[in-house]
Amino acid sequence: MIQLYGRRTSGNSYKTRLIMAILDLPYREIEVPLGAGGRNQVDPAYSVLNPRGQIPTLLDGETVLWGSTGILVYLAARYDRSEHWLPRRDPAALGRVMQWLELAQNEINTGLFKARAIARFGYDGNLDAARRDGEVALRVVEDRLRTGGSWLAGDGAPTIADIACFPYVALASEGGFDAAAYPAISNWVGRIKELPGYVPLPD
């Protein structure tokens, strides 16, 4: 059975739980506690699995992967026979998915994730700088959804681009952002919550 090392309050762990629920994959979840200053409490055995000491980490048989982006790509490529979650045989469509994964790992991470982590969990960091990056991320997502369709990268269907960007965009208010200023995002959040297999966001 797949094993997931993560934490229930983590948006990055949530991404992996969401795609596994959508793909109806059984798994066992192992909690990695959060210590002072936002550092994960990891033991030496976990450091062997994930030398970065971060979450999430996935074990699937002999496959060990760390980081939500790599895990999303792996799970979609390995288990989604429809290929709409990761359109790996269409180079242009695949590129569109990957560019949104870039946003998730850059402005969403340095902005929305960081602002939430500082404001809610007491992480160290510059909250004003995080909120500036977060506003950039929200504007990019809002503009795409307002002018480009229902989903970030797919032509009429969601992809792992939506999964990668979803949690910290949906939880932006916890970092001090005004969700009401982004109506297209609010509608997109509603569409994701209606997907078969959807699991609730971290509380």
Each residue's pLDDT tens digit, 106-155 = 999 999 999 999 999 888 999 999 999 999 999 999 999 999 889 999 77
Burial of 24 (0-12, 13-18, 19+ CB in 10 A): exposed
The separation between CA 151 and the C-alpha centre of its own chain, rounded to angstroms, equals 15
Q: Name the range with the highest mean pLDDT among 28-32, 42-46, 101-105.
A: 101-105
Distance between terminal CA atoms of the chain? 26
Residue 86: band (very low, low, confident or very high) from pLDDT cuts 50, 70, 90: very high
Could you confirm whether domain 91-193 is CATH 3.40.50.10860? no
Q: How many CB atoms sit inside 10 A of residue 122's CB?
A: 12
| Residue range(s) in the chain whose domain bears CATH number 1.20.1050.10 | 91-193
**Which residues share a beta bridge with 40?**
34
Topology of the domain comprising 2-79: Glutaredoxin (3.40.30)
Query: Do the Cβ atoms of 167 and 202 come closer than 8 Å?
Result: yes
